[in-house]
Structure 1
Amino acid sequence: MMTVFSNPRWLKQHDYPYTSIDEVPQSVFDEINERLDKRISTEPLVSIMVIAYNEEINVLRSISSLSCLDTKIPFEIVAVNNNSKDRTQETFDRLHVRTFFQPIQGCGPARQMAQEMAVGKYMLLADADCFYPVNWLDEMMKQLQQPGVVCVYGRYSFVANPELPRWQLTIHETLKDLVAEARHYKRPYLNAYGISMGYLREAGLKAGYMMHNRTWGEDGRICFDMMQYGRVVAMKTRSARAWTGTRTLMKDGTLWQALGKRVKKELNRAVSYLTPHPPHDTKTSED
């Protein structure tokens, strides 16, 4: 459940304090793998994609949370090491998930490989540095399996720390959710982030990811390209929000500086949300 003044208690189970794989006891891998062995299916309906670039410890936390999913829907986890320079591959090798290596740098090439290697009818995207609550898969699939739906996106919250209390982050998240509502009317793909997103694999393979390296946008671009095949919907269940750290948020300075920059950006393009984006080549365009 999203809380205003504290992080949800379930996060503590997966927030391992290690900084290197050498520090991780074998018992931690054993516990995660025991849960995975009970949940991973050889005939999955859903393939959860986890791509990682230099996420040696973060990906352990992410997959630990996915190993606790409470669902009767058969699923698999497809993990792709995107040419990491640290020991991400060693972490993957010690976990009971299907792993692949993509030497072409970029989220697009890594996610393209994941969807090509997947078995499930549906793809769910999970970031390597995020945490997922037990009902995340079921709530995403409730929306994705509706007639005519091709893509679903979820919402996310930030994990508080001593420098950034939950009440401040809640203000940011509330404003972010309001912007998402405005975007959804004509431009829902702007809300589609790899942190919490799902789609019909068949449509994803038709649309395809960009095969060059960009710092952002490959998830929204494939969503845009899939809109010709069906509707894009939102998963708004509060208890099913993904949780992530604040490292990307803090690239813009303090929380208030980051918030100010985002508010200014959204105000400048607010009018555009009232009209659909004209057709364009998402693989080469800058917007």
Structure 2
Amino acid sequence: MKKLFYVVALTLAAIPTAFAEPPATFTEAKVIAKQKIYLDQASSAMGELYCGCKWTWAGKSGGRVDLKSCGYEARKVKTRAERTEWEHIVPAWTFGHQRQCWQNGGREQCVDSDPTFRAMEADLFNLYPSVGEVNGDRSNFNYGMVSGVAPQYGQCTTRIDFQQKVAEPRDEVKGLVARTTFYMFDRYKLSMSRQQQQVLMAWDKQHPVSAWEKQREQRIAAIMGHDNPFVTGARKWTLGYAPQGADAAPMAAARPAGKPTLASAAEGSAVIGNSNSHVYHLASGCPGYGQVSQKNQVAFGTEAQAQAAGYRKAGNCK
């Protein structure tokens, strides 16, 4: 419990310079994902995974969706549409079915008896907040192209084909879900169908890594202790790719142990945002750069990244 408290207590700004151990359970992962990766994303332009909705945090790891922010209309279950849920981009059902524990007793058996399954279930690269209703509708369906399906969630462009059991996410995240899927299948040596490979390879090509996806990858790598090589460019998925497994995964650069000071956090970032005011400060020309409370610091590499996350430049910057 002490260890979990330490991990959660670290601020987002600490991520570029501080190494923290990966979460051991899905429950821990959801709390850490909120505090360390998505805390400042609830009101960002990117929004949640499937519809780009903004949300407000509620409780340890949940949130309440602002349906008007994305023009969302509930398909069937409004109460579920109004809350965020943690989506496994590669569903637990998908990776669980490739484990013997699932055959012996399903997800509960895997959680109880299989350390590899627990690692997969808690892998931060594979988690993203999403509108609960869409998360439920997506179920364990593979990603793919959906045609002939009318809009199901108002202005949200994600489509679910319940008959074919296929989900097509909005264009803005197609590249991200493809590279996340490649990572999961590569790291945990999972088998992927030829059809699924072809769809995801096309999305990977059509939708290059965005500034936010790169920043997300860096935040997660600092905690997990390794990169997603399909985001960094160290690996490329090709048809018939042979998964290499965790032992072969490129490791992230070592981070110094211990909780960083305000100065050490600031030194590693060109831009420091204040998660409380959503104002950012530059290392040069902004008097407030070194004055942001450590608990409110959010590190950005560029002004563009800060602006994309919904931050505005401090008025006293020269």
TM-score, normalising length: structure 2 = 0.25
TM-score, normalising length: structure 1 = 0.27
